[in-house]
Chains A and B, each alone.
Chain A
């Protein structure tokens, strides 16, 4: 079984290579990297602002302004800012009958925004009695690690996942379709080779391609600030899942043309978690059941070291489990389809 798997892999790799899969993969990775480097702006024009105002104080000075998210505790500010690299937080509490202000920033660079906040605060807080507001002002740097992360770099996980899950899905289904077209599966069926090796080897090709493209993009965008071990731990199950989708398409459709609609629908479904990732306020429960959700957050933890290994392996395990189930289903469907096409 193992020997045959390797031989199948060698054959499928060679086929993929001669169909320019490696070239396509590298070109896509470079294209995506260029998009990040040259098309997206370094910084998003309006950063997120999270505010907590202690109930005793009552109304907020920013009441009514747009783009402010009100939260219920200081912890919640930290929680929200963890998912939003380009954001600030302000908390106002009443301690010893006097307001205490905490400003949260992602890195120690407060920038213009920090100055503006301070000015507004000093005006607001000193309006009534005489208070030495400087004593009551605290600045907290939340995520030192974000210092070197440009806003646009937080897009990297999205692109890596799109590449490994979607390109894998597309290329693998094409691989199955050309095989059907050449009727090669019939020759395989009358050999001692098993179906699992036959399909798994194709998933392995996609896996290698996905590791290559993930490595290229991460190296270009993040250099060695990323953790490559983490990256591979999450990318392997992700690519396996993407390959499973390709097998699924290749099994239920007869040819590329007929699979197009299915491919597009799957792609749209897989993109939904991206929306949630970029706009964290949109995160309905069901979106977490789309595997790309776990992939994106897993990859993020690998390329932006802030999030730690927990985020990597937890997501990796979920995606792996989903990938195995999908592979099983696809294998079953493929086997059924074989009889119809021989």
Chain B
């Protein structure tokens, strides 16, 4: 459904690449997540794929159409939920939805039903300008579903939502997934990646470090993590160390030898642990 090869992009055309030779594939009905810290290049990749940024180097095909060849009809099959919500502030949620629906050449879903789906049933007639950030976030998601997209792009769909709402929206995404929609999402939240994605790509400095299913990633990189609690000058300290990593392994034996160890837990590594292990930096 999505096929990307050696994609490169530079905002400033100064020889630095914010997307630096990325290749990946998303199969029909699959959900692929881009997991990486702020500034990694996730949104940039997505903007290129939806035609908001020009194609500079490499190739990308979405639903059989090369990105360079997009015409307006193509967008009948695409849905995009933006990282920075956008809407006409002077129009109500419903007016915004009805207007956007009217742009499509294909049958669209009932705006009220979609607003209800994302929990905005009480704000249907409220001006979008009066929405909170979380409401806006949900609004643009509902809007992106109007045309029942075959390929659904979600940029940080859950950032800024409280846990309860976040769970509801995750369920909405899961439902969509059930119906066979191909989903490309970006996130800096490992839980989102783990819960929603069939496969996850770790992205850092415009490069994909690794791409696999959450389960495989854990099997491959995340078996041997230990949490060590020890006392040092009267305080309890915790360190999380990966045994697969030579430096960490040395540190474990150093602690065991030199410190007053209180507890040792071996546990399953989280995706973030693995991300740190592979890239040397966290997701924040």
* Contacts from A to B (Cβ < 8 Å): 3-4, 7-8, 10-11, 14-15, 18-19, 178-179, 182-184, 186-194, 339, 342
Question: Chain B contacts of A342 at CB under 8 A?
Answer: 47, 52-53
Contact bitstring B33-64, A, C-beta under 8 A = 1, else 0: 00000000000000100111110000000000
* Alpha-carbon distance between A7 and B104 when the two chains are bound, in angstroms: 11
A19 closest partner in B (C-beta)? B90
Contact of B102 among A7, A186, A194 (CB under 8 A): A7
Question: Chain A contacts of B143 at CB under 8 A?
Answer: 187
Tell whether, in the assembled complex, residue B52 and residue A4 are in contact, meaning their CB atoms are under 8 Å apart: no
* Alpha-carbon distance between A4 and B100 when the two chains are bound, in angstroms: 10
Instruction: Bin chain B's interface residue count.
Output: 20 to 34
Tell whether, in the assembled complex, residue A190 and residue B103 are in contact, meaning their CB atoms are under 8 Å apart: no
The 6 closest A-B pairs by CB, nearest first: A183-B86, A7-B102, A18-B90, A342-B52, A193-B103, A191-B103
Contact bitstring B86-115, A, C-beta under 8 A = 1, else 0: 111111000100011011110000000000
Contact of B72 among A182, A183, A187, A193 (CB under 8 A): A193
Known: A182-B89, A186-B86; 17 extra A-B contacts, CB below 8 A, are A4-B102, A8-B99, A10-B99, A179-B88, A182-B87, A183-B86, A186-B52, A187-B86, A187-B140, A190-B51, A190-B80, A191-B104, A192-B73, A192-B103, A192-B104, A339-B53, A342-B47
Question: Chain A contacts of B52 at CB under 8 A?
Answer: 186, 189-190, 339, 342
Report B242-282 residues with CB < 8 Å from chain A CB. none
Listed residue (B51, B73, B100, B103) with the most chain A CB atoms within 10 angstroms of its CB: B103
Question: Chain A contacts of B51 at CB under 8 A?
Answer: 189-190
B12 to chain A, nearest CB (A): 12
Do A190 and B75 form a contact, CB below 8 Å, given A7-B99, A7-B102, A183-B86?
yes
Question: Chain B contacts of A184 at CB under 8 A?
Answer: 86-88
A338 closest partner in B (C-beta)? B52
Tell whether, in the assembled complex, residue A14 and residue B95 are in contact, meaning their CB atoms are under 8 Å apart: yes
Listed residue (B53, B74, B75, B76) with the most chain A CB atoms within 10 angstroms of its CB: B75
Do A191 and B75 form a contact, CB below 8 Å, given A11-B91, A339-B53?
yes
Listed residue (B73, B82, B91, B99) with the most chain A CB atoms within 10 angstroms of its CB: B99
* Alpha-carbon distance between A186 and B75 when the two chains are bound, in angstroms: 13
Chain A CB within 8 A of B201 CB:
no
Task: Show 15 A/B contacts (Cβ-Cβ < 8 Å), sorted by A.
Answer: A7-B103, A11-B95, A14-B90, A14-B95, A15-B88, A18-B91, A184-B86, A187-B86, A187-B87, A187-B100, A188-B103, A191-B72, A192-B104, A193-B103, A194-B72
Tell whether, in the assembled complex, residue A15 and residue B91 are in contact, meaning their CB atoms are under 8 Å apart: yes
Chain A CB within 8 A of B24 CB:
no
Chain A CB within 8 A of B78 CB:
yes
A164 to chain B, nearest CB (A): 24
Contact of B50 among A179, A190, A193 (CB under 8 A): A190
* Alpha-carbon distance between A10 and B99 when the two chains are bound, in angstroms: 9
* Alpha-carbon distance between A183 and B87 when the two chains are bound, in angstroms: 7
Question: Chain A contacts of B99 at CB under 8 A?
Answer: 7-8, 10-11
A260 to chain B, nearest CB (A): 23
Question: Chain A contacts of B105 at CB under 8 A?
Answer: 192
B80 to chain A, nearest CB (A): 5
Contact of B54 among A15, A187, A339 (CB under 8 A): A339
A11 closest partner in B (C-beta)? B99
Tell whether, in the assembled complex, residue B87 and residue A186 are in contact, meaning their CB atoms are under 8 Å apart: no
Tell whether, in the assembled complex, residue A11 and residue B88 are in contact, meaning their CB atoms are under 8 Å apart: yes
B178 to chain A, nearest CB (A): 24
Question: Chain A contacts of B87 at CB under 8 A?
Answer: 182, 184, 187
Do A183 and B103 form a contact, CB below 8 Å, given A190-B75, A191-B75?
no
A148 to chain B, nearest CB (A): 44
Question: Chain B contacts of A186 at CB under 8 A?
Answer: 52, 82, 86
Question: Chain A contacts of B74 at CB under 8 A?
Answer: 192
B75 closest partner in A (C-beta)? A192
* Alpha-carbon distance between A178 and B88 when the two chains are bound, in angstroms: 9
Do A191 and B100 form a contact, CB below 8 Å, given A15-B88, A15-B91?
yes
Question: Chain B contacts of A7 at CB under 8 A?
Answer: 99, 102-103
